[in-house]
Copies of this chain bind each other. A is one copy, B any other.
Amino acid sequence: MTVETVSRTDAGLASELRLSVMRLRRRLAVERHPDNPLSLSQMTVLGTLHRHGEMTLGDLATHERVQPPSMSRTVGCLEADGYLRRRPSESDGRVQLVSLTEAGRDTLLADRRRRDAWLAQRLADLDPEERAVLRAAAPLLDRLAALD
């Protein structure tokens, strides 16, 4: 088996996919709209809160596959800048419930439009069948990333 054909086998799929995922992630980080003050990770947190509604900090960390201290820091910055709010749970004083503010929601939706301008333009260069492949692939990537 040669290096060139390894990608067609199941054994090579893992390698191919990992390289591709890393490169696109890096490119996405570069191509953010310059007037958006929020980082890629911060925007992802806003997106998750928009999708799921109010969540605990721990659940947010689990969902984003980061450790609690990392999420604590991310959430701290976003709260300080007014994109989300925290409140303690009534039933369990240890728990912090996190939710989007109106500013966070506006920022998310504006960013989504801008991001779509870049990535959707790249997607427009693909055939409809190729876009269909990626639409099918996205949830599969999430299943691969799932904790179980």
Contact = CB atoms under 8 A, between A and B. Distances in A.
Interface residues of A, number: 57
Contact of A144 (B14, B15, B22, B27): B27
A8 B131 CA distance: 11
A40 B126 CA distance: 29
A58 interface: no
B120 A10 contact: yes
A120 B140 CA distance: 13
Interface of A: 3, 7-8, 10-11, 13-28, 30, 40-41, 44, 47-48, 50-51, 64-66, 112, 115-116, 118-120, 122-123, 125-126, 130-131, 133-145
